[in-house]
């Protein structure tokens, strides 16, 4: 055989790859990297256990009878996995996913039990009845220390001006300590002191994420009934001056 036109080759092996062959090999490597070892099932195949993981990651990508990649959601045909990746990141596929998600959420809403729907309606009704005059009360916050235990603490005074009289005459502000995980999507767990008194705006201040001394001496010694132990022990409501006092200490 004549090997003179096969530069750099050895007897029994093929010649140096041409540029078109290198491009074909490079595209195949790129597709293998993008597919990450996945095997796309055919549309006429039943989904087996091995294909379940694939269907969770790309549930709309299948192969048709000719081996072409098809997006069932957008009804598009793709020649390579690179084209599929561009399609998945494109505007058309994103809009179709949003439409599909809206349909799914409406179907899930239909599957809600009557008890949950009744509870949600009650919550919305109570929320609509909340009064809000848009006024933020004046408040002062100070760092304090317990003279006996030397524990660090927080003292707060909130002054409410011209509150609307309640029907039962026994309305007062209430305090609650909440975690940021309850009402935000923050990854870090922060603590907030929330003070609410209708119809004023609620007050929220960030406090150290430390344990509170519940067995310390009670700040409020009036013995008035309240919704929980924290409000009964560590808050005092001066009804004559419409002023709320809050004081508590942290465990060292």
Q: Does one domain contain both 67 and 150?
A: no
Assigned domain for 208 exists: yes
Assigned domain for 68 exists: yes
Q: Does one domain contain both 63 and 142?
A: no
CATH number at residue 143: 2.60.40.2690
Assigned domain for 199 exists: yes
Q: Does one domain contain both 149 and 237?
A: yes
Q: Where are the beta strands (DSSP E) in the chain?
A: 61-63, 69-71, 76-78, 138-145, 152-159, 174-179, 191-196, 203-207, 235-238, 243-249
Least confident span in 85-99, 128-142, 221-235: 221-235
Assigned domain for 99 exists: no
Describe the crossing of helices 91-110 and 81-88 by its angle, rounded to 10 degrees.
60
Least confident span in 70-79, 131-140, 185-194, 243-252: 185-194
**Predicted confidence (pLDDT) per residue in 79-99, tens digit:** 887 788 888 888 888 888 888
Which two tokens mark 134? 């848009």
Q: Which residue has the higher pLDDT, 22 or 188?
A: 22
Assigned domain for 200 exists: yes
What is the span of the domain harbouring residue 225?
138-249
Assigned domain for 193 exists: yes
Number of structural domains in the chain: 2
């Amino acid at each position: 055989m004549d090997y003179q036109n096969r530069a750099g080759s050895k007897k029994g092996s093929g010649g140096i790859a041409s540029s078109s062959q290198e491009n074909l090999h490079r595209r195949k490597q790129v597709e293998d990297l993008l597919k990450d070892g996945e095997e796309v099932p055919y549309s006429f195949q039943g989904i087996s256990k091995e294909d379940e993981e694939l269907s969770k990651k790309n549930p709309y990508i299948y192969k048709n009878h000719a081996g072409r990649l098809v997006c069932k959601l957008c009804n598009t045909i793709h020649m390579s996995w690179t084209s599929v990746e561009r399609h998945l990141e494109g505007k058309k596929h994103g809009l179709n996913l949003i439409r599909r998600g809206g349909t799914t959420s409406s179907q899930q809403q239909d599957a809600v039990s009557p008890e949950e729907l009744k509870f949600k309606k009650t919550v919305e009704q109570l929320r609509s009845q909340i009064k809000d005059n848009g006024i933020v009360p004046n408040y002062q916050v100070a760092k304090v220390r317990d003279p006996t235990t030397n524990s660090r603490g927080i003292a707060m005074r909130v002054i409410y001006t011209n509150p609307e009289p309640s029907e039962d005459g026994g309305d007062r502000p209430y305090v609650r300590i909440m975690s940021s995980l309850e009402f935000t999507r923050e990854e870090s767990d922060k603590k907030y002191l929330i003070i609410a008194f209708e119809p004023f705006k609620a007050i929220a201040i960030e406090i150290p994420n430390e344990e509170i001394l519940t067995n310390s001496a009670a700040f409020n010694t009036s013995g008035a009934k309240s919704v929980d132990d924290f409000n009964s022990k560590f808050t005092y409501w001066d009804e004559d001056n419409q002023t709320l006092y809050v004081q508590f200490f942290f465990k060292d």
